[in-house]
A and B are shown apart, each in its own frame.
Chain A
């Protein structure tokens, strides 16, 4: 059996878009945002570290997700904060492309207790 949680298929997420995976499905503390940046897939905690906002509704630009509310920015590869007003990183997760399937391997530090 393939590893990780099946969260969708590659054509579920158009380029430059994202989906939100419910925390209950992912088995994590926070919901997970899965992004398609120019054909590459990434996953981060969905909630912005600055204020309550869904990063899955943000704007993807060249490896960076910009929060839809206050324009804080995070690296899609590792979740590190790139721009004020956010000052804290968001947790990053792994996405494995298995054929046409997208599988999420949650960050062990962010698993639901």
Chain B
């Protein structure tokens, strides 16, 4: 699978928009020292990271404004003018294919009075016209039409200054589109590092690549976005307890509870960029949906991906690419946790599967994903209930001031000689500790745009 590096638009080297005499006062943005809120040495996290609105604002400016964020799948855009809308943090985004076939991502906010230019989830357009006053932008983001343009004084008006704001970098990897506002963010592949090896076990099974089926399912949950992102990065631990009833339902009739499910060996990968993934390991790892299991040639997959991946991250497991992109290889569920204030998130979920899969296998995987991890899926319901329950009580004074425990497997990370990078046991909080370590690192580092503000 090749990576397409698209040229940066050089945002950040200079202010990309006229500012006139506007200048935010110093100290306007939050700058809270979070080093006392995350203690990875002792495996402790202060509960305010899930509830505090000032931290939330700082998170938007320093975590979401600097990180590579997931936008969607390349198959969502087929031809010039195809578009879909999504979010980067709380920022609304248009993703489109321009006339030359390049994928572009723009802030979905009109430069005039700030309304969303596009309100549809997806579609095809020849231009993007704001419905408020009618400013129109072409597929390259340039402002092309302004009703009553004569009303602007020619000496002070330059249409070229008022195009849609574009992301600083956009890249694709394994069929997934990512972008960042940061002109100085290291390349996407550097952010992934060894994580890409694990992602390939899901997204590079087929030489034809992957596609999406069934559209994007979206739902709203009470709960801070980090509760979900962290769990998908680090938490196999909850499976046997939270999902006990679902596991019983899925257990082949008459076989009942099985100790080798509960006591499965496995590994959990984590890195200092905040990524994490965990998976049971078994020589006969298999896909849960029977038609999917029967479709795959496991020997061929061993040839393509190697035995370590087929016996591990190929099937059952969990993963988060920092900060808010997660996936489950066994059912093809891909999701992004959009932050909506400290207390709420929007879950956007795709079913991603191999392009070569015949229709009946695609259907089987899509239905299996919906049954387990759709908005009413028997596993998803368990997870959402946990996160909402945690959030519901977390503003209480006593509740909020008692640290949370991330101590499992403390110090157990090592190179195991089989799986790239640093791994621990399957049941471990290692990736959670590194998720919050990365979060704290970004929270305590003035972001590229803050440095820009100082320069000007």
Contacts and interface: CB of A to CB of B under 8 A. Distances in A.
Whether chain B is bound by chain A comes out as yes
Interface of A: 50-53, 57, 68-71, 85
Contacts of A50: 147
A70 B145 CA distance: 9
Interface stretch (B126-134, B302-310, B380-388): B126-134
Q: Which 5 A-B pairs have the closest CB atoms?
A: A69-B136, A68-B126, A70-B134, A57-B126, A51-B145
Interface in B113-160: 126-127, 129, 134, 136, 144-147
Nearest to A59: B126
B134 A53 contact: no
A71 B129 contact: yes
A34 B162 CA distance: 33
A51 B151 CA distance: 14
A70 B147 CA distance: 9
B145 A52 contact: yes
A77 B134 CA distance: 27
A9 to B, nearest CB: 24
17 contacts: A51-B134, A51-B145, A51-B146, A51-B147, A52-B145, A53-B136, A53-B145, A68-B126, A68-B127, A69-B136, A69-B144, A70-B129, A70-B134, A70-B136, A70-B147, A71-B129, A85-B134
Contacts of B147: 50-51, 70, 85
Nearest to A71: B129
A18 B134 CA distance: 24
Contacts of A71: 129
Nearest to A69: B136
Contacts of B129: 69-71
B83 to A, nearest CB: 14
Contacts of B146: 51
A57 B125 CA distance: 10
Contacts of A51: 134, 145-147
A85 B129 CA distance: 13
Nearest to B144: A69
A68 B123 CA distance: 14
Nearest to B138: A69
Contacts of A57: 126
Given A68-B126, A85-B134, 5 more contacts: A52-B145, A53-B145, A57-B126, A69-B127, A70-B134
Contacts of A52: 145
A68 B126 CA distance: 7
Contacts of B144: 69
Contacts of A70: 129, 134, 136, 145, 147
A69 B131 CA distance: 10
A68 B136 CA distance: 10
Interface in B91-127: 126-127
Contacts of A68: 126-127
A70 B146 CA distance: 10
A70 B136 CA distance: 8
Contacts of B126: 57, 68
A69 B147 CA distance: 10
B164 to A, nearest CB: 15
Nearest to B136: A69
Nearest to A51: B145
B417 to A, nearest CB: 60
Interface string B261-296: 000000000000000000000000000000000000
B146 to A, nearest CB: 8
Q: Which of A50, A57, A69 has the most CB of B within 10 A?
A: A69
A26 B421 CA distance: 68
B14 to A, nearest CB: 30
B129 to A, nearest CB: 5
A20 B146 CA distance: 23
Nearest to B130: A70
Contacts of B134: 51, 69-70, 85
Q: Which of A50, A52, A57, A70 has the most CB of B within 10 A?
A: A70
B134 to A, nearest CB: 5
